[in-house]
Chain A
Amino acid sequence: MTSTTVTRDGAGVATPAPLRPRRRGIGWAQRLEITVLTGPALLMFVGFVIFPVLLAGYYGFYRWKGFGVPTDFVGFDNYVTIVQDALFHEALWHNGQIVVLSLVLQGPIALVLALLLNQRMRGQSIIRVLIFVPYVIAEVIVATAWSLMLQTNGAVNDVLRSVGLDRLAHDWLADPGLAIWTLMLILTWKYVGFAVILFLAGMQNIPDELREAAAVDGASYWQTQRRITLPLLGPTIRIWAFLSIIGALQLFDLVYIIWGQYVASTAGTSTMATYMVSEGRNAGNYGYGNAVAVVLFFISMIIALVYQRFVLRRDALPEGRS
Protein backbone atom coordinates (compact mmCIF):
# COMPACT_ATOMS: atom_id res chain seq x y z
CA MET A 1 0.00 0.00 0.00
CA THR A 2 2.76 2.38 0.88
CA SER A 3 4.35 2.33 -2.52
CA THR A 4 1.17 2.94 -4.46
CA THR A 5 -0.04 5.67 -2.21
CA VAL A 6 3.28 7.39 -2.22
CA THR A 7 3.28 7.47 -6.00
CA ARG A 8 -0.19 8.80 -5.88
CA ASP A 9 1.17 11.37 -3.54
CA GLY A 10 3.61 12.51 -6.17
CA ALA A 11 1.38 12.01 -9.17
CA GLY A 12 -1.60 13.74 -7.66
CA VAL A 13 -0.02 17.15 -7.25
CA ALA A 14 -2.23 19.55 -9.15
CA THR A 15 0.40 21.42 -11.14
CA PRO A 16 3.45 19.54 -12.38
CA ALA A 17 5.64 22.46 -11.33
CA PRO A 18 9.33 21.98 -10.59
CA LEU A 19 9.84 20.31 -7.24
CA ARG A 20 10.61 23.41 -5.23
CA PRO A 21 9.26 26.54 -6.84
CA ARG A 22 10.49 28.78 -4.05
CA ARG A 23 13.78 27.56 -2.69
CA ARG A 24 13.97 30.03 0.14
CA GLY A 25 13.18 27.45 2.80
CA ILE A 26 10.15 27.68 4.98
CA GLY A 27 9.79 30.34 7.57
CA TRP A 28 9.37 29.67 11.27
CA ALA A 29 5.73 30.70 11.09
CA GLN A 30 5.00 28.02 8.55
CA ARG A 31 7.03 25.53 10.52
CA LEU A 32 4.89 26.34 13.52
CA GLU A 33 1.73 25.80 11.49
CA ILE A 34 2.95 22.43 10.31
CA THR A 35 3.80 21.45 13.86
CA VAL A 36 0.42 22.52 15.15
CA LEU A 37 -1.38 20.69 12.34
CA THR A 38 0.51 17.41 12.37
CA GLY A 39 1.70 17.33 15.97
CA PRO A 40 -1.42 15.93 17.64
CA ALA A 41 -1.93 13.19 15.04
CA LEU A 42 1.75 12.23 15.10
CA LEU A 43 1.76 12.17 18.88
CA MET A 44 -1.28 9.89 19.03
CA PHE A 45 -0.06 7.64 16.26
CA VAL A 46 3.43 7.24 17.65
CA GLY A 47 2.15 6.92 21.20
CA PHE A 48 -0.55 4.34 20.65
CA VAL A 49 0.58 2.50 17.50
CA ILE A 50 4.37 2.69 17.09
CA PHE A 51 5.38 2.80 20.75
CA PRO A 52 3.38 -0.31 21.76
CA VAL A 53 4.97 -2.31 18.95
CA LEU A 54 8.40 -1.26 20.25
CA LEU A 55 7.31 -2.05 23.80
CA ALA A 56 6.38 -5.56 22.66
CA GLY A 57 9.93 -6.01 21.43
CA TYR A 58 11.19 -5.04 24.88
CA TYR A 59 8.74 -7.06 26.99
CA GLY A 60 9.22 -10.08 24.73
CA PHE A 61 12.65 -10.67 26.25
CA TYR A 62 11.26 -11.12 29.75
CA ARG A 63 9.35 -13.71 31.71
CA TRP A 64 6.79 -11.40 33.17
CA LYS A 65 3.32 -11.55 34.71
CA GLY A 66 2.41 -7.98 33.81
CA PHE A 67 2.97 -6.36 37.21
CA GLY A 68 5.66 -3.84 38.00
CA VAL A 69 8.84 -3.54 36.00
CA PRO A 70 9.93 -6.71 34.20
CA THR A 71 13.13 -8.04 35.77
CA ASP A 72 13.38 -11.68 34.78
CA PHE A 73 15.34 -11.27 31.54
CA VAL A 74 15.27 -14.51 29.57
CA GLY A 75 16.81 -13.45 26.28
CA PHE A 76 15.36 -15.32 23.36
CA ASP A 77 13.78 -18.05 25.51
CA ASN A 78 10.24 -16.92 24.72
CA TYR A 79 10.99 -17.04 21.02
CA VAL A 80 12.53 -20.49 21.31
CA THR A 81 9.40 -21.66 23.09
CA ILE A 82 7.18 -20.17 20.37
CA VAL A 83 9.17 -21.79 17.59
CA GLN A 84 9.01 -25.17 19.32
CA ASP A 85 5.39 -25.05 20.48
CA ALA A 86 3.19 -27.45 18.54
CA LEU A 87 0.17 -25.25 19.33
CA PHE A 88 1.85 -22.33 17.60
CA HIS A 89 2.70 -24.49 14.59
CA GLU A 90 -0.94 -25.45 14.39
CA ALA A 91 -2.05 -21.82 14.61
CA LEU A 92 0.45 -20.83 11.94
CA TRP A 93 -0.76 -23.66 9.70
CA HIS A 94 -4.36 -22.51 10.15
CA ASN A 95 -3.38 -18.93 9.29
CA GLY A 96 -1.66 -20.20 6.17
CA GLN A 97 -4.76 -22.13 5.16
CA ILE A 98 -6.98 -19.13 5.83
CA VAL A 99 -4.76 -16.84 3.76
CA VAL A 100 -4.78 -19.19 0.77
CA LEU A 101 -8.41 -20.25 1.02
CA SER A 102 -9.58 -16.64 1.40
CA LEU A 103 -7.85 -15.74 -1.84
CA VAL A 104 -8.93 -18.87 -3.67
CA LEU A 105 -12.55 -18.79 -2.51
CA GLN A 106 -13.36 -15.11 -2.23
CA GLY A 107 -11.45 -13.93 -5.29
CA PRO A 108 -13.25 -15.99 -7.96
CA ILE A 109 -16.63 -15.70 -6.23
CA ALA A 110 -16.29 -11.95 -6.00
CA LEU A 111 -15.18 -11.72 -9.62
CA VAL A 112 -18.16 -13.69 -10.86
CA LEU A 113 -20.53 -11.64 -8.71
CA ALA A 114 -18.97 -8.37 -9.84
CA LEU A 115 -19.26 -9.41 -13.51
CA LEU A 116 -22.85 -10.36 -12.85
CA LEU A 117 -23.67 -7.07 -11.17
CA ASN A 118 -21.80 -5.11 -13.80
CA GLN A 119 -24.48 -6.10 -16.32
CA ARG A 120 -27.03 -3.54 -17.25
CA MET A 121 -29.84 -4.17 -14.80
CA ARG A 122 -32.50 -2.47 -12.74
CA GLY A 123 -31.97 -2.11 -9.03
CA GLN A 124 -28.21 -2.41 -9.25
CA SER A 125 -27.57 0.18 -6.58
CA ILE A 126 -29.83 -1.50 -4.02
CA ILE A 127 -28.17 -4.85 -4.66
CA ARG A 128 -24.79 -3.27 -4.04
CA VAL A 129 -25.99 -1.95 -0.71
CA LEU A 130 -27.41 -5.30 0.33
CA ILE A 131 -24.37 -7.42 -0.48
CA PHE A 132 -22.28 -5.01 1.55
CA VAL A 133 -24.40 -5.44 4.68
CA PRO A 134 -22.44 -8.40 6.15
CA TYR A 135 -19.25 -6.37 5.92
CA VAL A 136 -20.73 -3.60 8.07
CA ILE A 137 -22.14 -5.84 10.79
CA ALA A 138 -19.99 -6.34 13.88
CA GLU A 139 -17.92 -9.53 14.07
CA VAL A 140 -19.61 -10.32 17.37
CA ILE A 141 -23.03 -10.29 15.74
CA VAL A 142 -21.86 -12.36 12.80
CA ALA A 143 -20.32 -14.85 15.19
CA THR A 144 -23.42 -15.03 17.41
CA ALA A 145 -25.76 -15.52 14.49
CA TRP A 146 -23.68 -18.13 12.69
CA SER A 147 -22.86 -20.12 15.79
CA LEU A 148 -26.58 -20.39 16.57
CA MET A 149 -27.47 -21.26 12.98
CA LEU A 150 -24.71 -23.83 12.65
CA GLN A 151 -25.50 -25.88 15.74
CA THR A 152 -26.29 -29.53 15.05
CA ASN A 153 -29.99 -28.84 15.41
CA GLY A 154 -29.76 -25.27 14.14
CA ALA A 155 -31.29 -23.49 11.18
CA VAL A 156 -28.71 -24.51 8.57
CA ASN A 157 -29.05 -28.24 9.17
CA ASP A 158 -32.81 -27.82 9.43
CA VAL A 159 -32.97 -26.22 6.00
CA LEU A 160 -30.67 -28.88 4.54
CA ARG A 161 -32.84 -31.67 5.93
CA SER A 162 -36.07 -30.08 4.80
CA VAL A 163 -34.86 -29.93 1.20
CA GLY A 164 -33.76 -33.56 1.37
CA LEU A 165 -30.03 -32.97 1.70
CA ASP A 166 -29.73 -34.86 4.98
CA ARG A 167 -26.28 -36.07 4.07
CA LEU A 168 -25.00 -32.50 3.99
CA ALA A 169 -26.10 -31.82 7.56
CA HIS A 170 -23.00 -31.79 9.75
CA ASP A 171 -21.71 -30.86 13.14
CA TRP A 172 -20.27 -27.72 11.61
CA LEU A 173 -18.61 -26.19 14.64
CA ALA A 174 -17.40 -29.04 16.82
CA ASP A 175 -15.97 -31.34 14.16
CA PRO A 176 -12.28 -30.32 14.11
CA GLY A 177 -11.81 -31.62 10.59
CA LEU A 178 -14.64 -29.49 9.31
CA ALA A 179 -14.26 -26.39 11.49
CA ILE A 180 -11.76 -24.61 9.24
CA TRP A 181 -14.18 -24.96 6.31
CA THR A 182 -17.01 -23.65 8.44
CA LEU A 183 -14.81 -20.71 9.33
CA MET A 184 -14.08 -20.14 5.64
CA LEU A 185 -17.80 -20.20 4.89
CA ILE A 186 -18.42 -17.49 7.47
CA LEU A 187 -15.41 -15.44 6.39
CA THR A 188 -16.46 -15.63 2.76
CA TRP A 189 -19.98 -14.57 3.65
CA LYS A 190 -18.73 -11.61 5.68
CA TYR A 191 -15.96 -10.32 3.44
CA VAL A 192 -16.91 -11.22 -0.13
CA GLY A 193 -19.10 -8.12 -0.38
CA PHE A 194 -16.07 -5.91 0.19
CA ALA A 195 -14.24 -7.59 -2.70
CA VAL A 196 -17.28 -7.29 -4.96
CA ILE A 197 -17.60 -3.57 -4.24
CA LEU A 198 -13.93 -3.00 -4.98
CA PHE A 199 -14.04 -5.02 -8.19
CA LEU A 200 -17.20 -3.27 -9.35
CA ALA A 201 -15.60 0.12 -8.74
CA GLY A 202 -12.60 -1.05 -10.73
CA MET A 203 -14.75 -2.34 -13.58
CA GLN A 204 -16.65 0.87 -13.84
CA ASN A 205 -13.41 2.71 -14.46
CA ILE A 206 -12.76 0.64 -17.57
CA PRO A 207 -13.86 2.75 -20.54
CA ASP A 208 -16.90 1.37 -22.35
CA GLU A 209 -15.19 2.07 -25.67
CA LEU A 210 -12.79 -0.82 -25.09
CA ARG A 211 -15.63 -3.30 -24.73
CA GLU A 212 -17.53 -1.80 -27.61
CA ALA A 213 -14.46 -2.05 -29.79
CA ALA A 214 -14.08 -5.70 -28.80
CA ALA A 215 -17.72 -6.33 -29.64
CA VAL A 216 -17.24 -4.71 -33.04
CA ASP A 217 -14.32 -7.06 -33.62
CA GLY A 218 -16.65 -9.96 -32.93
CA ALA A 219 -15.41 -10.90 -29.47
CA SER A 220 -17.86 -12.90 -27.36
CA TYR A 221 -18.89 -11.76 -23.88
CA TRP A 222 -16.47 -14.12 -22.19
CA GLN A 223 -13.62 -13.23 -24.51
CA THR A 224 -14.18 -9.59 -23.73
CA GLN A 225 -14.14 -10.21 -19.99
CA ARG A 226 -11.07 -12.41 -20.18
CA ARG A 227 -9.02 -10.23 -22.50
CA ILE A 228 -10.12 -6.77 -21.43
CA THR A 229 -11.89 -6.61 -18.08
CA LEU A 230 -9.67 -8.99 -16.13
CA PRO A 231 -6.30 -7.55 -17.17
CA LEU A 232 -7.48 -4.00 -16.54
CA LEU A 233 -8.84 -5.05 -13.18
CA GLY A 234 -5.38 -6.32 -12.19
CA PRO A 235 -4.37 -3.44 -9.89
CA THR A 236 -7.66 -3.61 -8.01
CA ILE A 237 -7.38 -7.37 -7.58
CA ARG A 238 -3.82 -7.09 -6.33
CA ILE A 239 -4.70 -4.46 -3.74
CA TRP A 240 -7.68 -6.52 -2.59
CA ALA A 241 -5.47 -9.60 -2.28
CA PHE A 242 -3.05 -7.61 -0.16
CA LEU A 243 -5.75 -6.47 2.24
CA SER A 244 -7.18 -9.98 2.35
CA ILE A 245 -3.79 -11.52 3.22
CA ILE A 246 -3.13 -9.01 6.01
CA GLY A 247 -6.62 -9.52 7.40
CA ALA A 248 -6.28 -13.31 7.29
CA LEU A 249 -2.94 -13.22 9.10
CA GLN A 250 -4.40 -11.16 11.93
CA LEU A 251 -7.75 -12.91 12.16
CA PHE A 252 -9.02 -12.97 15.73
CA ASP A 253 -12.57 -11.85 16.52
CA LEU A 254 -14.66 -14.41 14.67
CA VAL A 255 -12.57 -17.39 15.75
CA TYR A 256 -12.32 -16.27 19.35
CA ILE A 257 -16.03 -15.58 19.70
CA ILE A 258 -17.33 -18.68 17.94
CA TRP A 259 -14.90 -21.26 19.26
CA GLY A 260 -13.96 -19.44 22.45
CA GLN A 261 -12.26 -21.58 25.02
CA TYR A 262 -11.80 -24.55 22.68
CA VAL A 263 -9.67 -22.53 20.36
CA ALA A 264 -6.42 -23.15 22.13
CA SER A 265 -6.23 -26.82 21.51
CA THR A 266 -8.77 -28.90 19.71
CA ALA A 267 -11.17 -26.86 17.62
CA GLY A 268 -8.93 -26.84 14.57
CA THR A 269 -9.34 -23.11 13.93
CA SER A 270 -6.81 -21.43 16.24
CA THR A 271 -4.88 -18.54 14.70
CA MET A 272 -1.69 -16.76 15.73
CA ALA A 273 -3.78 -13.98 17.24
CA THR A 274 -5.96 -16.32 19.30
CA TYR A 275 -2.81 -18.18 20.36
CA MET A 276 -1.33 -14.85 21.42
CA VAL A 277 -4.35 -13.95 23.53
CA SER A 278 -4.86 -17.34 25.16
CA GLU A 279 -1.18 -18.06 25.88
CA GLY A 280 -0.38 -14.46 26.75
CA ARG A 281 -3.10 -12.49 28.42
CA ASN A 282 -5.44 -15.30 29.43
CA ALA A 283 -2.57 -17.30 30.91
CA GLY A 284 -1.12 -14.19 32.58
CA ASN A 285 2.20 -14.58 30.71
CA TYR A 286 2.57 -11.08 29.38
CA GLY A 287 6.20 -11.43 28.42
CA TYR A 288 5.34 -14.43 26.31
CA GLY A 289 2.27 -12.78 24.79
CA ASN A 290 4.42 -9.85 23.71
CA ALA A 291 6.92 -12.18 22.10
CA VAL A 292 4.08 -13.76 20.11
CA ALA A 293 3.00 -10.25 19.08
CA VAL A 294 6.50 -9.58 17.80
CA VAL A 295 6.45 -12.81 15.77
CA LEU A 296 3.05 -11.91 14.34
CA PHE A 297 4.34 -8.43 13.53
CA PHE A 298 7.40 -9.72 11.68
CA ILE A 299 5.47 -12.36 9.76
CA SER A 300 2.93 -9.73 8.65
CA MET A 301 5.62 -7.21 7.82
CA ILE A 302 7.75 -9.62 5.80
CA ILE A 303 4.75 -10.81 3.81
CA ALA A 304 3.62 -7.20 3.28
CA LEU A 305 7.05 -6.10 2.10
CA VAL A 306 7.54 -9.09 -0.18
CA TYR A 307 4.11 -8.56 -1.64
CA GLN A 308 4.76 -4.87 -2.24
CA ARG A 309 8.15 -5.55 -3.72
CA PHE A 310 7.08 -8.25 -6.13
CA VAL A 311 3.37 -7.81 -6.76
CA LEU A 312 2.32 -4.24 -6.10
CA ARG A 313 5.41 -2.66 -7.56
CA ARG A 314 4.17 -2.89 -11.09
CA ASP A 315 1.14 -0.86 -10.11
CA ALA A 316 3.32 2.00 -8.93
CA LEU A 317 2.96 3.53 -12.37
CA PRO A 318 0.42 6.10 -13.45
CA GLU A 319 -1.56 3.45 -15.33
CA GLY A 320 -2.35 1.86 -11.96
CA ARG A 321 -4.38 4.88 -11.07
CA SER A 322 -7.90 5.37 -12.11
Chain B
Amino acid sequence: MKDLFALYAAFFRIGGLTFGGGLTMLPMLQHELVDKKHWVEEEDLLDYYAVGQCTPGIIAVNVATFVGYKKKGIPGAIFSTLGMISPSLIIVSIIALFLNEFMSNEYVAHAVAGIKVVVCALMLNTVFTMAKKTIKNYIGAIVCVLAFVVAMFTPVPTVLIVIAAGVFGILLTKIKKKEEGKK
Protein backbone atom coordinates (compact mmCIF):
# COMPACT_ATOMS: atom_id res chain seq x y z
CA MET B 1 0.00 0.00 0.00
CA LYS B 2 2.86 2.33 0.87
CA ASP B 3 4.43 1.68 -2.54
CA LEU B 4 1.17 2.46 -4.28
CA PHE B 5 0.91 5.81 -2.53
CA ALA B 6 4.54 6.52 -3.39
CA LEU B 7 3.69 5.92 -7.07
CA TYR B 8 0.61 8.14 -6.80
CA ALA B 9 2.60 10.92 -5.12
CA ALA B 10 5.47 10.77 -7.62
CA PHE B 11 3.20 11.03 -10.65
CA PHE B 12 1.07 13.67 -8.94
CA ARG B 13 4.21 15.80 -8.63
CA ILE B 14 5.16 15.16 -12.25
CA GLY B 15 1.66 15.97 -13.52
CA GLY B 16 1.34 19.02 -11.31
CA LEU B 17 4.70 20.56 -12.09
CA THR B 18 5.10 20.03 -15.83
CA PHE B 19 3.41 22.21 -18.38
CA GLY B 20 2.57 20.48 -21.65
CA GLY B 21 2.67 16.75 -22.13
CA GLY B 22 4.55 14.29 -24.28
CA LEU B 23 8.22 15.03 -24.78
CA THR B 24 8.29 18.12 -22.56
CA MET B 25 7.58 15.74 -19.70
CA LEU B 26 10.62 13.52 -20.33
CA PRO B 27 13.18 15.57 -18.33
CA MET B 28 10.82 15.67 -15.34
CA LEU B 29 10.20 11.92 -15.54
CA GLN B 30 13.94 11.29 -15.76
CA HIS B 31 14.63 13.47 -12.73
CA GLU B 32 11.88 11.94 -10.61
CA LEU B 33 11.97 8.26 -11.66
CA VAL B 34 15.57 7.62 -12.70
CA ASP B 35 17.71 10.00 -10.62
CA LYS B 36 15.65 10.40 -7.47
CA LYS B 37 13.71 7.16 -6.94
CA HIS B 38 15.81 4.73 -9.00
CA TRP B 39 12.61 2.96 -10.05
CA VAL B 40 13.61 2.58 -13.69
CA GLU B 41 16.76 2.74 -15.78
CA GLU B 42 17.27 5.50 -18.28
CA GLU B 43 16.98 3.10 -21.27
CA ASP B 44 13.81 1.53 -19.89
CA LEU B 45 12.22 4.95 -19.71
CA LEU B 46 13.04 5.60 -23.36
CA ASP B 47 11.55 2.20 -24.26
CA TYR B 48 8.36 3.11 -22.39
CA TYR B 49 8.29 6.34 -24.34
CA ALA B 50 8.55 4.45 -27.62
CA VAL B 51 5.61 2.26 -26.59
CA GLY B 52 3.70 5.28 -25.27
CA GLN B 53 3.97 6.93 -28.65
CA CYS B 54 2.62 3.98 -30.59
CA THR B 55 -0.27 3.17 -28.31
CA PRO B 56 -3.51 5.11 -28.20
CA GLY B 57 -3.95 7.88 -25.69
CA ILE B 58 -1.94 10.61 -24.03
CA ILE B 59 1.79 9.80 -24.18
CA ALA B 60 2.63 11.00 -20.66
CA VAL B 61 -0.21 8.95 -19.19
CA ASN B 62 0.87 5.88 -21.13
CA VAL B 63 4.39 6.17 -19.70
CA ALA B 64 2.97 6.57 -16.17
CA THR B 65 0.80 3.48 -16.63
CA PHE B 66 3.76 1.49 -17.94
CA VAL B 67 6.09 2.45 -15.08
CA GLY B 68 3.36 1.75 -12.52
CA TYR B 69 2.64 -1.67 -14.01
CA LYS B 70 6.31 -2.68 -14.09
CA LYS B 71 6.66 -1.56 -10.47
CA LYS B 72 3.53 -2.95 -8.84
CA GLY B 73 1.34 -4.72 -11.40
CA ILE B 74 -2.20 -3.62 -12.20
CA PRO B 75 -2.79 -1.67 -8.95
CA GLY B 76 0.48 0.14 -9.61
CA ALA B 77 -0.67 1.04 -13.13
CA ILE B 78 -3.95 2.41 -11.80
CA PHE B 79 -2.39 4.46 -8.99
CA SER B 80 0.26 5.95 -11.30
CA THR B 81 -2.36 6.94 -13.85
CA LEU B 82 -4.56 8.48 -11.15
CA GLY B 83 -1.57 10.41 -9.82
CA MET B 84 -0.82 11.77 -13.27
CA ILE B 85 -4.37 13.02 -13.94
CA SER B 86 -5.27 14.31 -10.45
CA PRO B 87 -3.51 17.71 -10.68
CA SER B 88 -5.16 18.42 -14.05
CA LEU B 89 -8.57 17.51 -12.68
CA ILE B 90 -8.23 19.84 -9.72
CA ILE B 91 -6.56 22.81 -11.44
CA VAL B 92 -8.54 22.79 -14.69
CA SER B 93 -11.88 22.35 -12.91
CA ILE B 94 -11.18 25.39 -10.74
CA ILE B 95 -10.16 27.47 -13.75
CA ALA B 96 -13.16 26.33 -15.77
CA LEU B 97 -15.42 27.34 -12.90
CA PHE B 98 -13.96 30.85 -12.74
CA LEU B 99 -13.58 31.33 -16.47
CA ASN B 100 -17.24 30.62 -17.14
CA GLU B 101 -18.23 33.09 -14.41
CA PHE B 102 -15.84 35.84 -15.44
CA MET B 103 -16.45 35.64 -19.18
CA SER B 104 -19.16 38.29 -18.85
CA ASN B 105 -16.59 40.79 -17.56
CA GLU B 106 -15.57 43.22 -20.32
CA TYR B 107 -11.81 43.01 -19.63
CA VAL B 108 -11.85 39.24 -19.46
CA ALA B 109 -13.66 39.12 -22.79
CA HIS B 110 -11.02 41.34 -24.41
CA ALA B 111 -8.23 39.28 -22.85
CA VAL B 112 -9.79 36.07 -24.14
CA ALA B 113 -10.04 37.51 -27.66
CA GLY B 114 -6.33 38.33 -27.53
CA ILE B 115 -5.53 34.88 -26.17
CA LYS B 116 -7.37 33.25 -29.04
CA VAL B 117 -5.01 34.89 -31.52
CA VAL B 118 -2.05 33.46 -29.62
CA VAL B 119 -3.67 30.03 -29.45
CA CYS B 120 -3.99 30.06 -33.24
CA ALA B 121 -0.29 30.84 -33.55
CA LEU B 122 0.55 28.10 -31.00
CA MET B 123 -1.55 25.59 -32.91
CA LEU B 124 0.08 26.55 -36.19
CA ASN B 125 3.35 25.84 -34.45
CA THR B 126 2.07 22.44 -33.26
CA VAL B 127 1.06 21.45 -36.79
CA PHE B 128 4.45 22.40 -38.22
CA THR B 129 6.41 20.63 -35.47
CA MET B 130 4.29 17.53 -35.87
CA ALA B 131 4.67 17.58 -39.64
CA LYS B 132 8.44 17.76 -39.28
CA LYS B 133 8.45 14.87 -36.83
CA THR B 134 5.91 12.56 -38.45
CA ILE B 135 6.37 12.92 -42.20
CA LYS B 136 9.40 10.79 -43.04
CA ASN B 137 8.94 10.23 -46.79
CA TYR B 138 6.79 11.27 -49.73
CA ILE B 139 4.18 8.56 -49.04
CA GLY B 140 3.78 10.01 -45.57
CA ALA B 141 3.33 13.46 -47.08
CA ILE B 142 0.60 12.16 -49.41
CA VAL B 143 -1.18 10.41 -46.54
CA CYS B 144 -1.05 13.63 -44.50
CA VAL B 145 -2.54 15.71 -47.33
CA LEU B 146 -5.17 13.03 -48.05
CA ALA B 147 -6.22 12.91 -44.38
CA PHE B 148 -6.46 16.71 -44.37
CA VAL B 149 -8.61 16.80 -47.53
CA VAL B 150 -10.89 13.95 -46.44
CA ALA B 151 -11.41 15.43 -42.96
CA MET B 152 -12.00 18.89 -44.42
CA PHE B 153 -14.42 18.13 -47.25
CA THR B 154 -16.15 14.86 -46.42
CA PRO B 155 -18.14 13.73 -43.39
CA VAL B 156 -15.94 10.62 -42.93
CA PRO B 157 -15.45 10.14 -39.16
CA THR B 158 -11.99 10.87 -37.74
CA VAL B 159 -11.79 7.35 -36.33
CA LEU B 160 -12.14 5.79 -39.79
CA ILE B 161 -9.36 7.95 -41.21
CA VAL B 162 -7.00 6.81 -38.43
CA ILE B 163 -7.88 3.15 -39.00
CA ALA B 164 -7.53 3.47 -42.79
CA ALA B 165 -4.06 5.00 -42.41
CA GLY B 166 -2.98 2.14 -40.13
CA VAL B 167 -4.27 -0.53 -42.53
CA PHE B 168 -2.58 1.24 -45.43
CA GLY B 169 0.73 1.22 -43.55
CA ILE B 170 0.52 -2.53 -42.97
CA LEU B 171 -0.44 -3.24 -46.60
CA LEU B 172 2.46 -1.12 -47.77
CA THR B 173 4.92 -3.17 -45.72
CA LYS B 174 3.40 -6.43 -47.02
CA ILE B 175 3.74 -5.29 -50.64
CA LYS B 176 7.34 -4.24 -50.02
CA LYS B 177 8.11 -7.63 -48.50
CA LYS B 178 6.58 -9.45 -51.47
CA GLU B 179 8.64 -7.42 -53.92
CA GLU B 180 11.79 -8.13 -51.97
CA GLY B 181 10.87 -11.82 -52.02
CA LYS B 182 10.64 -11.78 -55.84
CA LYS B 183 14.14 -10.38 -56.17
A joins B in a complex = no
Which A residues contact B (CB, under 8 angstroms)? none
Which B residues contact A (CB, under 8 angstroms)? none
